[in-house]
Amino acid sequence: MPFNPMRQHFSAFNDQSDFKGIYLDSGATTQKLQTVIDITNRYYQSSVNVHRSSYKLASDTTQKFEDARRTLQSFINAKDHREIVWTKGATESINLLAACLPRSLLQKGKNIVISTLEHHANIVPWQILAEQYGLTLKVMPINDNGVLLLEEAVALIDEHTVLVAIGHVSNALGNINPIKSIITKAKTVGALTLIDGTQAVSHMAVDVQDLDCDFYVFSGHKMFGPTGVGVFYGKLPLLENMPPYQVGGEMIKKVSFKGSEFLGPPLKFEAGTPNIAGVLGLAAAANFIKSNRDTIVKQELALSRYLQQSLASLTGIKIWGDPQHKIATFSFTVNGVNHYDLASYLNIQNISVRVGHHCAMPLMEALGVDGTIRVSISCYNTEHELTNFIEALKSGICLFTNNSDSVFKNKISEEKAVDRPGELALAISQAKSWDEKYRHIMLAGKSFPRLPKEQLKEDLEIFGCESQVWLKCELIDSTLYIQGDSPSKVVRGLLAIIFEYLRGKRPNEVLDFDLNTHLKSIGLDRYLSNSRANGIEAVLDRIFDFCKEYSNTQN
């Protein structure tokens, strides 16, 4: 197995780490550099505040804090260090701009332009702003594969456009958007531009002066740095003319009961004690990326080519997005196989991928899918890991296709899956391995009675699962009758576990049910991920609400 020199910088991959699997979810968050961990730990060993005290330790820490600002200035080639504002991350940065845009710009009849590809964090603030001020929200279209239609996109930007907000790279698909052309068009009509660079900064060099964007935002945790810290870049004249985001300590020049004066940027936007350790760690991450840029790009390019070729060789795989202009992120679906089921199987193989809508529901709706599997690579991954992933993917696809029926029948008789009271719970509790428990759940999901399509309506849908779930509760002769459905066999199997126990009970008996105790009794508590356990709890909460409502009417 070829040695990847990048791995030695990340403690997650050393022999002492608790993580022993294959991590392919760097688009959600990257693993942390050992230097970042060391720097943040060092700060907490002798903590002081910044910009407040004059003794040596405080003065030295303040100097390091402001040196970090200059490090990030250099990292994105900002013109002035005062253009770097510390935030909690890209989400807060976008909300900062939405809160601080001069209200004189937000006149009825104006518009804000975003794209179909955006993360929810770059959609919802603009929806709220548009509703509050009578603006129109325009959405740049994409083609059937999820690639921005540039000609149609720039045509939406007109003399009434106040702001264009678009991601540098799609978090869901990995597309690199043609933002320079969009920025150029926006400037011709006097519109401001916000670029969400969260998925870009760890994969490519970013030069905000060359882009000539007005604002650029990103998060530290997706570039090998700490969580809870990020950057809001804005051109200095714009920052000077914007009001504060929050008020309090740190950003005050003078306070009296006659009125208050605020400091200039960036401190004007940094009320309260900042995430000092996070800022120091973020600077270390930025220095690492800048110093190793060529190696990072080369490693990720080689891995991307290998993975793209490997995925393309599999039958039934649909890779979404731009195959040419992309970072090392691949979002795909498999014909006839639910993405949640496949990700659940990969999890059993200790392979971490992201599944679902990736906080981009409008994009998934435009593509006509309810979610994808996203594999996001970073410089610390290896070809060997990707080979193992592809082999596991092949096995999972085989397992979930019709050809896998015989595999299930070898383990248990299909007719015993759900209908006999307690039999499913008993079979799972007696299973000697997780693989066997999983097969029982799969078989239960395969034979689980489905709801008619016409009943799959919004009022029956439950949120809190990675996969869609619908639930219908009724009382027949004062006992509970429940039906449910999900595209996922695994989720349907988990529903079967709950339904088997609760079906036919009276509402007061249902309310005595304890999910954690039940899962523990059948040996599932330590196998369920938080997302799946939370999904079951969401279903159970809906059942409890139904039973409580009935009980209240009887009192």
Angle between helices 339-348 and 434-446 (to 10 degrees): 170
Beta pairing partners, 216: 195, 233
- List the domains of the chain with CATH numbers: 5-24+295-400 (3.90.1150.10), 68-290 (3.40.640.10), 404-554 (3.90.1010.10)
By CB neighbour count within 10 A (0-12 exposed, 13-18 middle, 19+ buried), where does 516 fall? exposed
Dihedral class, residue 484 (left if φ above 0, else alpha if ψ from -120 to 50, else beta): beta
By CB neighbour count within 10 A (0-12 exposed, 13-18 middle, 19+ buried), where does 487 fall? middle
Residues of the chain scoring pLDDT < 50:
1, 403-421
The whole model's pTM is what?
A: 0.88
231, containing H or E segment:
strand 230-234
φ and ψ at residue 471, rounded to 5 degrees: -140, 135
Beta pairing partners, 261: 254
* 359 is an active site residue: yes
Beta pairing partners, 206: none
Compute the distance between CA of residue 142 and CA of residue 150 in angstroms, rounded to an integer. 8
- 384 close to 1: Cβ distance less than 8 angstroms: yes
Angle at 267 between CA 262 and CA 272, to 5 degrees: 90
Compute the distance between CA of residue 26 and CA of residue 88 in angstroms, rounded to an integer. 19
For 506, the token pair is 């009276």
pLDDT given at position 96: 98
- 515 close to 442: Cβ distance less than 8 angstroms: no
Compute the distance between CA of residue 220 and CA of residue 199 in angstroms, rounded to an integer. 11
Pick the closest to residue 331 from 119, 439, 175 (CA basis).
Answer: 175
For 212, the token pair is 């000539």
- Positive or negative CA dihedral for 192, 233, 132, 245? negative
Other C-beta atoms lying within 10 Å of the C-beta of residue 303: 20
Active-site residue, from 359, 379, 398, 547: 359
Other C-beta atoms lying within 10 Å of the C-beta of residue 243: 13
Compute the distance between CA of residue 94 and CA of residue 82 in angstroms, rounded to an integer. 18
Beta pairing partners, 192: 163
- Torsion, Cα 113 117 121 123, to 10 degrees, reads 40
DSSP 417: S
418, containing H or E segment:
none
pLDDT given at position 402: 57
pLDDT given at position 534: 66
Q: Which residues of 230-242 are buried (b: 16+ CB within 10 A; e: fewer)?
A: bbbbbbbebbeeb
| Local structure of 321: helix, strand or coil | coil
Tell me the longest C-alpha to C-alpha distance in the chain.
82
By CB neighbour count within 10 A (0-12 exposed, 13-18 middle, 19+ buried), where does 203 fall? buried
Compute the distance between CA of residue 386 and CA of residue 383 in angstroms, rounded to an integer. 5
Residue type, 121: A
Q: Which residues of 411-432 are buried (b: 16+ CB within 10 A; e: fewer)?
A: ebeeeebbeeeebbbebbeebe
Q: Are strands 161-167 and 192-196 parallel, antiparallel or unpaired?
A: parallel
pLDDT given at position 530: 61
Number of H helices, E strands in the chain: 20, 18
For 335, the token pair is 């014909």
Compute the distance between CA of residue 543 and CA of residue 539 in angstroms, rounded to an integer. 6
DSSP 20: -
pLDDT given at position 348: 85
Q: What is the CA radius of gyration of the chain?
A: 26
- 327 close to 169: Cβ distance less than 8 angstroms: yes
Pick the closest to residue 476 from 512, 506, 511 (CA basis).
Answer: 506
pLDDT given at position 416: 41
